[in-house]
Amino acid sequence: MLRTRIAVSVAAAAAGLAVLTACSGAETAQPVVAPAAAGGTGGGQAANGQVGNAAPASNESKLVVADVADVGQVLTDQNGMTLYRFDKDTAKPPKSNCDGDCAKAWPPMLATGDVQVQGVDKNLVGKVTRSDGTEQITVGGWALYRYAKDAKPGDATGQGVGGAWYAANAKGGKSGQAAAAGSESGAVKLSASKIDGLGDAIVDQNGMTLYLFTKDTKKKASACNGDCAKTWPPVLSNNGKVELQGIDSKLLGSIKRQDGTEQVTIGGWPVYNFSKDLKPGDANGMGVNGTWFVIEPNGCKVGTTPSTASQAPAANSGAGSSSNDSSGGTGTTY
């Protein structure tokens, strides 16, 4: 069951939907033009080929706790290279959402036989099967990666990249200032924010823009699964906890997805990230295919209530969205 700091129940959230401000034309409003894409590759980073630690020098898989300057204690591999976790992955159940170009920039730490540990609780170590069939090492359920731009042991240039990549600690949490700031509270955090050119919007704990999908069924089901969910990762509750800031707690709810995970809803709409948003403030998914829209703090799509309609760009007659956004390799657009 979802709850905020004031212990909001899903039942109370459902009852509170009746007090929602109506989303004027929320189901039929014309799409608005997506802001210019920031560019880059899937997973949030440019992938110009693997360098430094593209492949381990040893066939042994080993996890070691080490001190890294300006970050603190982190997990490293058998060669001393810093290991990272990705906020768009999930730990319960373990799942990697970094494939293709993303995996070139962030090579997964693959399991090669038994995993040796030093300073790590063996009970926290596991494996997850990736989309290509290989097995990736996890700690605390979080899949581990190297960063292609780390050139030598002790480098941690991937720390904080894209607001989603962090050096992992011995329990699979975030190392450094991210942990000190309390991001390891175990809760998903959703906040009201403003995005240039769009106005009021909801962002996650990393400042990344959140979206709704008009093909979903409000309060019931998500229509975005499989490859779609790779392009548009659903926001999942972590241990059933969600913290809200600037959002009415009565709008909070959840749905069960096809894979059994629990997805957060605001105003009945399941909420998502967009894999092509690279940094806080990006909203490259706005208006994509006329079905994806930035979600406002009142649970409506941007541009359908008086508070934001005047701030949203005019609809692009004849287009309405970028038609080049696809799941990658399937020819299907979302």
Of the candidates 230, 265, 278, the one whose C-alpha atom is nearest the C-alpha of residue 89 is: 230
* 95 and 218 inside one domain: no
Q: Is residue 332 part of a domain?
A: no
Instruction: Give the model's pLDDT for residue 188.
Output: 84
Q: Is residue 242 part of a domain?
A: yes
Count structural domains, the chain. Answer: 2
Phi and psi angles of residue 58, each rounded to the nearest 5 degrees, phi first: -125, 150
* Least confident stretch, 77-81, 161-165, 219-223: 161-165
**What percentage of the chain has pLDDT greater than the value 90?**
50
User: Structural domain of residue 147, as residue ranges?
Assistant: 45-180
* 158 and 238 inside one domain: no
240-271 confidence digits (pLDDT tens): 689 999 999 999 999 999 988 899 999 999 99
* 137 and 264 inside one domain: no
CA distance 217 to 206: 27
Q: Is the pLDDT of residue 46 over 60?
A: no
105-150 confidence digits (pLDDT tens): 999 999 988 899 999 999 999 999 999 999 999 999 999 999 999 9
pLDDT tier at 305, thresholds 50, 70, 90:
low
Count CB neighbours of 104 within 10 A: 20
- As to burial, measured by CB atoms within 10 angstroms (0-12 exposed, 13-18 middle, 19+ buried), residue 90 is buried
- Read off the pTM: 0.48
Going from the C-alpha of 119 to that of each of 74, 86, 194, 258, the distances in angstroms are 10, 22, 43, 37
* 223 and 293 inside one domain: yes
* 137 and 259 inside one domain: no
Q: Which residue has the higher pLDDT, 121 or 9?
A: 121
For residue 262, what is the enclosing H or E element? strand 262-266
3-state secondary structure 114-180: CEEEECCCHHHEEEEECCCCCEEEEECCEECECCCCCCCCCCCCCCCHHHCEEEECCCCCECCHHHH
96 with 34: CB under 8 angstroms? no
68-86 confidence digits (pLDDT tens): 887 888 999 999 999 999 9
* 16 and 81 inside one domain: no
CA distance 152 to 83: 12
Instruction: Give the model's pLDDT for residue 331.
Output: 39
Q: Is residue 240 part of a domain?
A: yes
* 151 and 253 inside one domain: no
